[in-house]
Structure 1
């Protein structure tokens, strides 16, 4: 076993400790990617089921004070009533498909029973300072039926967007039915909808696209990758050890001191 005494050297002790630490770390990273894969797969399944579900009247899924659930989110709903453009506001710092910064247009929609549904009609561009109220095309007048995707109330915790105060007139940061109920002094259905029909004339506001699926297969590939790395660490360590043993065995023996001294006369 003297051939392996080099493993007790400082360099090899450090290398071995690093290898030992890497194995459980990589295994844990693999499990983390597995959890991400499962979460994204479940989310994609929910979104797909919601997008393909039959449209239902909005009040079958939400009511004043209701918190929209994950299973209800993205469901297609319909509502009949009239737009209240006098109480319309815009939501700051929102981007379109081209990553241009602008506003989302949030218009209260008064239902036949007097309750209010918040309708995100889409995106409009901002002016240079984002302080002035933008030009917003008017929605259709009179009684009509709108269709849209049901969305949950926005919060700072979920979105990371700070709910700033003292904003310019008729501008908000987050779409939140409880806050809008206080502003409007009305019964507001929980959550809001992203309007999909009828489509705005002239293409503005730009209506928002359906949510895309999250890349779950990528997480699965990362999971396998981390576990392969974990398996490769001890194999690589043993390969280095064997090469060190071979190199030491093939190295010429160092001459003894007496062999280098001149012969006595």
Structure 2
């Protein structure tokens, strides 16, 4: 009855199922790994956002890189804003509005900290400089989320030359530091509060959306593993259907032969 399993068509089907099972398994395992990675990342960022602020020089220093695990930690720094070297970052959105981030160096005794003071709307044209409220004068204490320098790898943004003066595409701290007259901390600070507050100011950025902690990857992992059951179940269903059809065919032949006799 089951000799048909050795036919060329069925051997091809056996091989296909044998290839699909480990493929679906490893795809599910890869998505599970992404789920674990993103869940851990989400937990870490949530804890960093909830932690008490610490001086920036406890987590970062001049010429260094912000440790991966310290992203979004709340830090404080005290110094004076240097508006002469202020920059605006093009093509940044807030609530679906296109505009600029405003990056102003805060000069401290330990070195300058680049402070992303927030978002301002775009000017009349793409290349026009936006209207940027001035920061407080004199000594200022800022509190904000510590961020690593932006690069093409961690943002997907490609920088280019020929931009209008004072405009950039990435908060690439080492590159920005090349044009400044003082040493600069390795990361930058995303402002959440400052004392004194001053007058009008750029719109502060919201905290990061930590999402579902990789929940989508978990769903994909389960989906790939369910495909294993579908592949095996389909193979069994086709096998049983083929066997049923063969039995029906043989029964019909037996009835025909009996009638002929």
Contact 2:136 2:199 in 1 (8 A): no
1:70-111 deviation line (CA, Å, top 9, x unaligned): 122111011111111121110111111x22221111111111
Compute the displacement of 1:175 (Å): 0.8
Contact 2:151 2:157 in 1 (8 A): yes
Q: How far apart are the structure 1 equivalents of 2:32 and 2:46?
A: 21
Is 1:29 the counterpart of 2:30 in the alignment? Answer: no
1:111-168 deviation line (CA, Å, top 9, x unaligned): 1x16211000111111353211111111122212111000000111222211211211
Task: Determine helix, strand or coil for the equivalent of 1:81.
Answer: strand
1:198-240 deviation line (CA, Å, top 9, x unaligned): 36755x5221111121432332232223222213322321121
Q: Which runs of 5+ in 1 are unaligned?
A: 260-265
Number of the residue aligned with 2:162: 166
**Residue of structure 1 aligned with 2:243, choices 245, 261, 265:** 245
Is 1:146 the counterpart of 2:142 in the alignment? Answer: yes
Is 1:115 the counterpart of 2:111 in the alignment? Answer: yes
Q: How far apart are the structure 2 equivalents of 1:76 and 1:88?
A: 22
**Residue of structure 2 aligned with 1:188, choices 184, 188, 206:** 184
**Residue of structure 2 aligned with 1:129, choices 125, 128, 135:** 125
Distance 1:13 1:201, change over 3 A: farther
Compute the displacement of 1:6 (Å): 3.0
Distance 1:201 1:229, change over 3 A: farther
Number of the residue aligned with 2:101: 104
Number of the residue aligned with 1:62: 60
Compute the displacement of 1:245 (Å): 0.7
Number of the residue aligned with 1:263: none
Compute the displacement of 1:23 (Å): 0.7
**Residue of structure 2 aligned with 1:79, choices 72, 77, 99:** 77
TM-score (norm 2): 0.89
TM-score (norm 1): 0.87
Contact 2:123 2:131 in 1 (8 A): no
Q: How far apart are the structure 1 equivalents of 2:161 and 2:69?
A: 32
Q: How far apart are the structure 2 equivalents of 1:71 and 1:62?
A: 12
Task: Determine helix, strand or coil for the equivalent of 2:176.
Answer: helix
Q: Which runs of 5+ in 2 are unaligned?
A: none
Q: How far apart are the structure 2 equivalents of 1:201 and 1:79?
A: 20
Task: Determine helix, strand or coil for the equivalent of 1:104.
Answer: strand
Q: How far apart are the structure 1 equivalents of 2:253 and 2:14?
A: 27
Contact 1:81 1:110 in 2 (8 A): yes
Q: How far apart are the structure 2 equivalents of 1:17 and 1:127?
A: 62
Contact 2:145 2:192 in 1 (8 A): yes
Is 1:17 the counterpart of 2:19 in the alignment? Answer: no
Q: How many residues were matched structurally?
A: 252
